[in-house]
Amino acid sequence: MKFLEMSDATDPLAEYATEVEKEPLILTVDGTPVAALVLVENADPETVTLSTDPGFLAMIERSRVRQNAEGGISSAEMRRRLGA
């Protein structure tokens, strides 16, 4: 993983994008990470969008907490309920 201070990031974005094939690039402000350039492989735009959407991530976390607290149903039961 490579770190780059935002004020030092003076090359065109395209140059940084080619570098992320080797390793992610973390942009910092005063040493604090503020953004990341990472290689996106085998992902469609919807997957990338959802994986960074705070609302979607919060919903997934709520579902995980509920699953851990209350349990869930088996895949066989789900198929039975759906008539599959």
Please tell me whether residues 46 and 35 are part of one structural domain: no
Q: Same domain for 48 and 84?
A: yes
Residue 25: pLDDT over 90: yes
19 plus 46 within the same structural domain? no
The structural domain count of the chain equals 2
pTM of the model: 0.59
Residue 34 shares a structural domain with residue 51: no
User: CA 24, CA 2: separation in Å to the nearest integer?
Assistant: 6
Q: How far apart are CA 7 and CA 29, in angstroms?
A: 8
How far apart CA 77 and CA 58 sit, in angstroms, is 26
Q: Phi and psi of 21, rounded to 5°?
A: -65, -25
Same structural domain, 30 and 10 = yes
Q: pLDDT class for 55, splitting at 50, 70, 90?
A: very high
Find the largest Cα–Cα distance for the chain. Answer: 59
Domain at 18, CATH number: 3.40.1620
Domain of residue 60: give its range.
Answer: 42-84
**43 pLDDT band (50/70/90 cuts)?**
confident
